[in-house]
Structure 1
Amino acid sequence: MAALRSKEAVAVRPRDDRDGFPGDGPGDDPRRGGADAPAERRIDRVRAADVIAEGVRDAEPGEIPGRLCTVAVKLLPVVGASVSLRSDGMPIQLSASDDQAAHLAEVQATLGDGPCMYAAEIGAPVLASDLTDGPDARRWPVFAHEATSLGVSAVYSVPLGNDAVCVGTLDLYRETPGELTEREMRTALLVASVMTIALMALPRQAENGPPGGDDPWLSGLATDHDEVYQAIGMIMAQLGVDSDEALARLRARAFAQNSTALEVARDIVSHRKRFDRD
């Protein structure tokens, strides 16, 4: 398969054909595989579906996002994967395949910038194929420095949702610079599609919850994010600022201390740190 050719982070809007598999379409160039290309794609899909099914077997609903991150690492030439939901302010990290992937997701949330943030904004895949040099590194210099210092040289971010709504991203991390082939991109899109379905299928209402109460959809999955919002509320009270300014102050403090926003939030919530008015 020919590689997706890009010398910088690119947004890719794949077609959906009649059977709904992302990336396939009746207008595909026959040079990409000739008459056997549709059959090869179906075989690829079946193989990937088998790995996905095995990876989530017997999993509780709340475990599936993490299981799918692990599946993505098995299916693709990447060393880590994370999944985050889009939200006002900071994205909500739900799960990751390992600590490194979780940390890189938190770095982007702290910076408020990066391939994953951009993919959520535009609702299309963003492929930063080389964070060591060139346009990708210049576009996100701080994130690129952090990623490469941890041994990650490329990031591929795939939105979760549909053409109308992006609910989050599946973020893939690779050790070496490089582009995803068309086959690999189709597999990434398939995993993202299953991830979207899994997220939408999570329980929307607690069995014994009070009627009209807060939506417990992410209860138990995003407890860390609760600390961030609690810290933002405390900063608002300490400084007399609105939520946007409080989040900006939190991010600035984390950046200055070479920490993540979550780490600083925990210090604020535990009263180890506070923000004083100038």
Structure 2
Amino acid sequence: MNSYEHELVVSLRRAAEQLESTHTLRDVDQTLGEIVRAAVETMRCVDAGGITITEDRNVTSRGPSSEAVTKLDQLQTELAEGPCVDVITELPDDGVIVAQDLDGADAQRWPRFAPQAVEAGYRAILSTRLSTQEGIQAALNLYAAKPHAFDLDARLTAGLFGVQAAVLLYGSEQAAHLQRALDSRDVIGQAKGILMERFAVDDAQAFQMLVRSSQDTNIKLVDVARFLQEEAARRSQAPADPPTEA
């Protein structure tokens, strides 16, 4: 194993260890930044990098190595043009799109984005697709100052770092879905308790009341439960009526 391969293995192992210790959203952002940093430091042809995540048309740049990368990552989505956009929309078999010379042949492919990337100091970009789930699109974007910086080895190495980032994103998305499910269950449970106390019904009857209200109003069950919860909170905070005189 040569020094470059050893450096790559050590970097990936370090990223994997950080993934195992990730527990919160803040940890996710920090670890994404570590993956980007490791890719930039390990791949000598790369000068900067970042991860673009587009969800419900909102674009965020996670773990960027510079402010210029943040702007270029967002610019690709705003213009609907660039390697990052193509790797998500065109779905290449290997999940990679490479722009080898944005001041040369690739300038015609992305005529609005390419000049701004060159002006920012980057001639080549490699984008690796991380996620194509419904509503969420993500890519690892690596920037190089020199043209034709990305050979086959660079593409394979970028793919390995992309796998690390993709696993982290998938895990955080599943954790978020699970947390929302648990939150919904808690809200529904509290709403059932309110109905059981107010109407002297049992657990099953209270749940059926929530279901019937949801069907009659065409409002999601959890939203009906949340309304009851908020309404009960308002009642508890309202001042008591003054006693009436005899």
TM-score by length of 1: 0.54
The aligned counterpart of 2:37 is 70
Mapped partners of 2:102, 2:96: distance in 1: 16
- Deviations along 1:236-278, whole A, 9 cap, x unmatched? xxxxxxxxxxxxxxxxxxxxxxxxxxxxxxxxxxxxxxxxxxx
Which residue of 132, 135, 139 corresponds with 2:103? 132
Contact kept in structure 2, 1:90 and 1:112, CA below 8 Å: no
Contact kept in structure 2, 1:160 and 1:166, CA below 8 Å: no
Asked if 1:106 corresponds to 2:74, the answer is yes
Shift, 1:85, TM fit: 2.3
Contact kept in structure 1, 2:51 and 2:138, CA below 8 Å: yes
Aligned residues: 171
Mapped partners of 1:210, 1:129: distance in 2: 47
State the secondary structure of the residue aligned to 1:139.
coil
Shift, 1:167, TM fit: 3.9
The aligned counterpart of 2:141 is 171
1:1-278 map, 5 Å:
44=5, 47-54=7-14, 57=18, 60-76=27-43, 77-89=45-57, 91-123=59-91, 124-134=95-105, 136-161=106-131, 167-202=137-172, 203-204=175-176, 205-206=178-179, 210-211=183-184
TM-score by length of 2: 0.60
Shift, 1:79, TM fit: 1.0
Higher helix fraction: Structure 1 or Structure 2? 2
- Deviations along 1:104-135, whole A, 9 cap, x unmatched? 1011122121111011112231100000122x
Mapped partners of 2:28, 2:63: distance in 1: 13
Contact kept in structure 1, 2:96 and 2:155, CA below 8 Å: no
Identity, % of aligned positions: 20
Closer/same/farther in 2, CA of residues 119 and 90 from structure 1, 3 Å limit: farther
- Deviations along 1:124-158, whole A, 9 cap, x unmatched? 31100000122x10111221111111111111111
The runs of 5 or more residues in structure 1 that have no matched partner are: 1-38, 214-278
The aligned counterpart of 2:241 is none
Mapped partners of 2:143, 2:157: distance in 1: 15
Q: CA RMSD in A?
A: 3.2
Give the partner amino acid of 1:62: D
Contact kept in structure 1, 2:101 and 2:148, CA below 8 Å: yes
Contact kept in structure 2, 1:75 and 1:187, CA below 8 Å: no
State the secondary structure of the residue aligned to 1:156.
strand
Mapped partners of 1:83, 1:198: distance in 2: 12
Contact kept in structure 2, 1:86 and 1:92, CA below 8 Å: yes
Closer/same/farther in 2, CA of residues 133 and 206 from structure 1, 3 Å limit: same
The runs of 5 or more residues in structure 2 that have no matched partner are: 187-246
Mapped partners of 1:78, 1:178: distance in 2: 11
Closer/same/farther in 2, CA of residues 160 and 73 from structure 1, 3 Å limit: same
Give the partner amino acid of 2:8: A
Q: Which has the higher contact order (CA 8 A, sep 6+)?
A: 1
Contact kept in structure 1, 2:125 and 2:142, CA below 8 Å: yes
Mapped partners of 1:49, 1:165: distance in 2: 33
